[in-house]
Amino acid sequence: MIRSTPATGPLRVHPSNPRYFIDGSGRAIYLTGSHTWINLKNIEATDPPFPFDYTAYLDLMQEYHHNFMRMWTWELTKYTYPSFNGAFKYVEPFSWPRTGPGEALDGKPKFDLSQFNQGYFERLRSRVIAARDRGIYASIMLFEGHAVQLSDPPWRWDGHPFNVNNNINKIDGNPSGDGKGLEIHTLEIPAVTALQEAYIRKVIDTVNDLDNVLYEISNETGPYSTDWQYHIINYVKSYEASKPNQHPVGMTFQYKGGDNATLFDSPADWISPGHTSSERYKDDPPPADGNKVIISDTDHLWGTSGAERMWVWKSFLRGLNPIYMDPYGRPHHPPPDESIRENMGYTLSYANKVNLAAMVPRGDLASSTYCLANPAADGAQYLVYLPDGGAVTVDLSASPGELSVTWFDPSTGGTVYKGMTTDGAEQSFTAPFGGDAVLHIWDGPIF
d(CA 201, CA 235): 9
* Averaged pLDDT score across all residues of the chain: 95
How does residue 4 score in pLDDT terms, banded at 50, 70 and 90? low
The residue-averaged pLDDT of 315-328 equals 96
- What pLDDT score was predicted for residue 2? 44
Percentage of the chain beyond pLDDT 70 is 98
Q: Coil, strand, or helix at residue 156? A: coil
Q: Coil, strand, or helix at residue 353? A: helix
d(CA 267, CA 269): 7
CA 70 to mean position of chain CA atoms: 5
Domain 12-358: what homologous superfamily? Glycosidases (3.20.20.80)
More confident residue, 332 or 313: 313
d(CA 231, CA 239): 12
pLDDT in tens, 34-53: 999 999 999 999 999 999 99
Out of 35-44, 139-148, 367-376, 422-431, pick the least confident.
Answer: 422-431
Residue 229 has pLDDT above 70, yes or no: yes
Could you name the CATH architecture of 362-442? Sandwich (2.60)
In this structure, are residues 294 and 272 in contact, taking their beta carbons and an 8 Å threshold? yes
Domain edges within the chain:
12-358, 362-442
Question: Which helix (DSSP H) or strand (DSSP E) does residue 408 occupy?
Answer: strand 403-409
How does residue 144 score in pLDDT terms, banded at 50, 70 and 90? very high
Residue by residue, DSSP assigns 61-72 as HHHTT--EEEE-
The residue-averaged pLDDT of 405-414 equals 97
